[in-house]
Structure 1
Amino acid sequence: MRKSVLFIALLFAISMAASAQKFALIDTEYIMKNIPAAQSANEQMQEATKKYQSEVEVLAKEAQKMFQDYQAKSSTLTAAQKTKKEDEIVAKEKAAAELKRTYFGPEGELAKMRERLITPIQDDIYEVVKELSQQHGYDMVLDRASATGIIFANPRIDISDEILRKLGYSN
């Protein structure tokens, strides 16, 4: 009997603590779409991605053509010529892989561009979210864009427009 009373009191205390929390919701995709600098940054990154991808594809196609030529002529080549051609093909493939890493790798040009263009905007958004959380007493702010587990949220707790206003973009 005593355990059940203690259990009920514990459940009551937990439910009171849970109901006292305040939550808010933001949609970073929506916010970023309404910031012109973010749109411009995304366009620049898309253009750079296309340019870099085409450069990598050119090298990869050259390596593929070299391999096809090698296969077509391999029966007429000497062992030394075969080795030389194979080395050239491998070098071209390595060059393509290196170029791909240079552009698309974790320390690549696109990562640097993202760091330079997008990160400052995201930092500004974070600072405003932090400020509003402290101002309104939010215990947790969830991002609808990245939280795939959110099936439904009351639009009343979405503070995305308030964040845009604080950043100077009225919507």
Structure 2
Amino acid sequence: MRVYFITIFFLIFGLNFVHAQRFGYIDTDFILNKMPEYGKAQEEINQLSGAWEKEIQEMAKKIESMYSDLQAEQVLLTDQMKKERTASIQKKEAELKEYQKKVFGFGGLFFLKKQELIKPIQDKVWDAVDKVAKQNNLAIVFDKAGELVMIYTDPRHDYTDFVLDELGLGDPNDKIKN
């Protein structure tokens, strides 16, 4: 019903509005991959992530070893000793899950570090996009690297090179600007 109302609204009132607007698109993946500081940030994030994953794997191996030891010695242990070992293993498993959540969960160390390193770079790109949009009188700029599915894009409306120029990363030999 809502889509139907919006469609009717644009058909009656919005055709002139829609035609008066200028649209463009950019490819933020392409832009970010051209930025040396983004590559360095990604490398640091990957190193940290790898180190954390290794720690988690080592913790998991230790728990696995504790299980194996319990299985091997089970016939020699009293019921009380079995309960104590099982409780110890369960405690280690809970610690592992808590650590995984602390590192890789929402708002965890990985998320915070990624935000710390990537957000300033993204802000730089958004500022450049804002300048390019204003310079070219664009009402809307889409990101073809995002979740928006763009079935067809006319290269005349691609402002990626303009944003790269604004960031000082443009190709000086590129003469195909609209």
TM over 0.5: yes
Check whether the contact 1:49–1:110 (CA below 8 A) recurs between aligned residues.
Answer: yes
Task: Give me the whole-angstrom Cα distance separating, in 2, the residues matched to 1:54 and 1:101.
Answer: 15
Secondary structure, counterpart of 1:145 in structure 2? coil
Pair 1:14-2:14 in alignment: yes
Which residue identity does 1:63 align to in structure 2? I
Moved more, 104-113 or 117-126: 104-113
Residue equivalent to 1:147: 147
Whether 1:57 and 2:50 are equivalent positions in the alignment is: no
Deviation digits for residues 6-44 of structure 1 (CA, Å, limit 9, x no counterpart): xxxx84753322222111101110000000000111111
Q: 2:98 corresponds to which residue?
A: 98
Q: C-alpha separation between the residues in 2 aligned to 1:170 and 1:55?
A: 41
Contact 2:132 2:166 in 1 (8 A): no
The reply on whether 1:121 has 2:111 as its aligned counterpart is no
> Using the alignment, how far apart are the partners of 2:57 and 2:73 within structure 1?
24
Stretches of 4+ aligned residues off by more than 6 angstroms:
none
The answer on 1:38 being equivalent to 2:17 is: no
Map of 1:80 onto structure 2: 80
Identity of aligned residues (%): 29
1:4 counterpart residue number: none
* Cα RMSD, aligned residues only: 1.7
In structure 1, list runs of 5 or more residues that go unmatched. 1-9
Is 1:161 the equivalent of 2:161? yes
Provide the secondary structure at the position in 2 that maps to 1:118.
Answer: helix
**C-alpha distance in structure 1 between counterparts of 2:88 and 2:12, whole Å:** 74
- How far apart, CA to CA, are the structure 1 residues paired with 2:65 and 2:26? 50
State which drifts further: 11-20 or 134-143: 11-20
Q: How many residues align?
A: 162
**Segment drifting more, 12-21 vs 130-139:** 12-21
Report the AA paired with residue 100 of structure 2: K
Q: Could you give the per-residue CA deviations for residues 86-122 of structure 1, whole angstroms, max 9, x where no partner exists?
A: 1110121122112212221223221221122110000
Matched residues in 1 for 2:148 and 2:61: separation? 39
Q: Which amino acid aligns with 1:38?
A: Y
TM-score, normalisation: structure 2 = 0.83
Structure 2, gaps ≥5 residues long = 1-9, 172-178
Deviations 1:27-64 (A, max 9, x none): 11000000000011111111111111011011011112
